[in-house]
């Protein structure tokens, strides 16, 4: 089930010396003991290869505007938007125009070899 939290819909709170927006209150499918943190840079006019994960949930935080495809459906993300991708959901990213894209990916739990490539013909 795709869950997207829009930074632009968040209520901002003014604090001493900074402004805070509470973007998401995340609930995970199971108890967690580890998290992988990956900073992903995508070149201009590029699309990543679609893949899924067998066991882990992945949380993406858009550092820049970028498109994410989840199960062949395109979602436009703006800076600060948060997306949760469940196990088995195929996903990829695409940049538009001459701008690169940046995503912070959080893997729960941190399973290094959990990537599953979809069967040819079912990808974007």
Indicate whether 19 belongs to any domain: no
CATH number at 100 reads: 2.60.120.10
What pLDDT does 120 receive? Answer: 54
Contacts (Cβ under 8 Å, ≥6 apart) of 108: 28, 32, 34, 35, 56, 57, 58, 59
Domain tally, the chain? 1
Mean pLDDT by 10 residues, the chain (124 residues): 89 86 84 90 94 93 97 96 95 94 94 78 46
pTM of the model: 0.83
H helix runs in 2-83, sequence order: none
Cα 114 to chain center, whole Å?
Answer: 16
Look at the alpha carbons of 64, 69, 75, 80 in this order and tell me if their dihedral is positive or negative.
negative
């Amino acid at each position: 089930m795709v869950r997207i939290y829009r930074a632009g819909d968040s209520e901002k709170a003014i604090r001493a010396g900074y402004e805070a927006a509470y973007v998401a209150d995340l609930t995970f499918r199971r108890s967690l003991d580890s998290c992988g943190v990956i900073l992903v840079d995508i070149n201009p006019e590029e699309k990543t290869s679609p893949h899924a994960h067998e066991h882990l949930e992945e949380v993406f935080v858009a550092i820049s505007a970028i498109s994410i495809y989840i199960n062949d459906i395109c979602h436009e993300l703006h800076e600060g938007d948060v997306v949760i991708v469940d196990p088995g959901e195929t996903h990829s990213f695409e940049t538009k125009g001459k701008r690169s894209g940046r995503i912070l990916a959080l893997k729960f739990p941190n399973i290094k070899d959990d990537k599953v490539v979809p069967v040819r013909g079912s990808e974007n």
